[in-house]
Amino acid sequence: MKKSLAGLFFLLVPVLLIAQFGCSRTSSGDHDIVILNGTVIDPETKLEAIRNVGITNGLVQTISAESLTGRATLDAAGLVVAPGFIDLHSHGQDAENYRLKAMDGVTTALELEVGTADIDRWYAEREGKALIHYGASIGHIPVRMSVMHDPGSFLPSGDAANRAASEAEIVEMKQLIERGLQRGAPAVGFGIAYTPSATRWEILEMFRVTAKLGATAHVHMRHCGEKQSDNVTNALEEVIAASTVTDAPLHVVHINSCGLRATPSLLQVISEAKARGMNVTTESYPYTAGMTRIESATYDEGWQERRGLDYKDLEWPATGERLNAGSFARYRKAGGWVISHMNTEEMVRAAVASPLTAIASDGVMENGKGHPRSSGTYSRILGRYVREAKLLTLAEAIRKMSLLPAQVLERHVPMMRNKGRIRVGADADLTIFDPERVIDKATYEAPANYSEGIKYVLINGTVIVKDGQLQEGVAPGKPVRAPIQ
């Protein structure tokens, strides 16, 4: 009996060490890859210390102050080892955009605002081909476009933007959204500003389906202007009320580009809602300009007054020109992406500094043309707002770019519980960067420039960025999907 107890004790000791200290003992060469001497920052446990990290079978197996060996090693001396960054709002979901994300330290990029109307087809198109992890919501916008036979491509330009839905159409939309959630959609996406004729009742009905299946509603609010008739506070109240009535968790996208000068007030409202037990989260990106489709409802007649903008504030990224009445009319007829210079650095800083906000890019790049947020969001936070402005600590910035976005999804998407962290058993999605050199290089003139200072990026233990260079011939990205029902 004594021998049995002694044997049990020696079996339990390694397990207890892992649970308490996040380290395990391994024999020489047990790891597939070892990261040596980096400053490991884990936002969940608050670890911030020089450690060696051992990875096996795509998972973090060992975190130790003692020497480790493996079949391959990465020297991270002088570098920070962080959980891979998670972008909840990335419209660019193709090889071009995944490369930009990887070079900015992003290991998971999700399209959760607009989303898709066909979950199975969307995921099948990317299976086995993606450089980084990917996913999309079941989207109210594309579902409404499908039900109402809208001629638009990415955003509606016909009935889905301009007509109230019938009761029968609302029922069909609810069925399609429920079906998408049953097929593993990680969230339900809303772009109410792009479907302005959708009644508050219609939105409430979609929130009811979201709550029924336990998902989060990712919402671009109804208004982004500051005029009394289109007050953005009313828009926030609409979705908070829908969340309260249905108990659907709410995630408000790009709070600074909707709030503009009202951003601090909106953050206060979200903070107060959270203090009363509501599940409300939000996000921001570190740029003063936004970008959307010029043919969308946001540029319907009266847009100057609603949004506080004029033609000169609009930039056509394909050519770099600022618009006038003539070019606006011409481009609106043709359709395409337009950048709007609409915010202030003060409001960007208010959003970025808030402990409430995750960092998300709202990015999309097409053939090298677009907004610099597609390429530089995460390195911009680390270089300009952490190192230069000292607006955030490094640990807090990493939390906002990894753990916080993972937590937004993890109740409905259990696989996210193993992302955004560096702990034993977590997915080996890691970003290793030089805190003294990391910086965004993308500009409005050259938006596809890669960031600098991102030294290594690993996806499930596969190195996709090595010594600051993308690796060819690898596609380790996996689908981020809720359990299929």
Q: Rounded to 5 degrees, what are φ and ψ at 186?
A: -75, -10
pLDDT for 26? 38
Find the range with the poorest average confidence among 113-117, 141-145, 255-259: 255-259
Ordered by start, the domain boundaries in the chain are: 2-78, 84-288+343-414, 290-341
pLDDT for 224? 79
pLDDT for 134? 98
Q: How far is CA 477 from CA 108, 109, 132, 135, in A?
A: 8, 10, 4, 10
Could you tell me the fold of the domain covering 84-288+343-414?
Answer: TIM Barrel (3.20.20)
DSSP state of 281: E
**Can you tell me the mean pLDDT for 396-416?**
98
Dihedral over alpha carbons 180, 118, 413, 269 (to 10 degrees): -80
Calculate helix-pair angle for 345-353, 263-275, nearest 10 degrees.
20
Q: Rounded to 5 degrees, what are φ and ψ at 159?
A: -60, -35
Taking the CA atoms of the chain, what radius of gyration do you get in angstroms? 23
391: number of Cβ within 10 Å: 17
Pairing of strands 357-359, 280-284: parallel
Per-residue pLDDT reduced to its tens digit, 215-234? 999 999 998 765 544 589 99
Per-residue pLDDT reduced to its tens digit, 24-61? 333 446 899 999 999 999 999 999 999 999 999 999 99
Q: Give the bridge partners for 27, in sequence order.
A: none
Pick the CATH number of 2-78 from 2.40.360, 2.30.40, 1.20.1630, 2.60.120: 2.30.40
* Strand positions, DSSP E, 261-405: 280-284, 289-293, 314-316, 321-322, 337-341, 357-359, 365-366, 369-370
Asked if the model's pLDDT at residue 441 lies above 70, the reply is yes
| pTM higher than 0.95 | no
Per-residue pLDDT reduced to its tens digit, 75-125? 999 999 999 999 999 999 999 999 999 999 999 999 999 999 999 999 999
pLDDT-based confidence at residue 312 (cuts at 50, 70, 90): very high
Asked if the model's pLDDT at residue 17 lies above 90, the reply is no
pLDDT for 227? 59
pLDDT for 29? 61
pLDDT for 25? 39
Contacts of 70 by beta carbon, 8 Å cutoff, 6+ apart:
29, 30, 31, 32, 33, 34, 54, 55
Per-residue pLDDT reduced to its tens digit, 454-473? 999 999 999 999 999 999 99
Pairing of strands 462-466, 469-470: antiparallel
DSSP state of 285: -
Per-residue pLDDT reduced to its tens digit, 172-181? 999 999 999 9
* 295 closest CA partner among 161, 474, 100: 161
Residue type, position 141, single letter? I
Whether 273 and 281 have beta carbons less than 8 Å apart is answered as: no
Task: Give CA angle at 98 (85, 482), nearest 5°.
Answer: 65
Asked if the model's pLDDT at residue 7 lies above 60, the reply is no
pLDDT for 187? 98
Rounded CA separation 199/211 (Å) = 19
Q: How far is CA 278 from CA 86, 266, 294, 356, in A?
A: 23, 15, 35, 13
pLDDT for 1? 41
**Can you tell me the mean pLDDT for 414-440?**
98
What's the whole-number average pLDDT of the chain? 93
Rounded CA separation 70/57 (Å) = 12
pLDDT-based confidence at residue 376 (cuts at 50, 70, 90): very high
Asked if the model's pLDDT at residue 324 lies above 60, the reply is yes
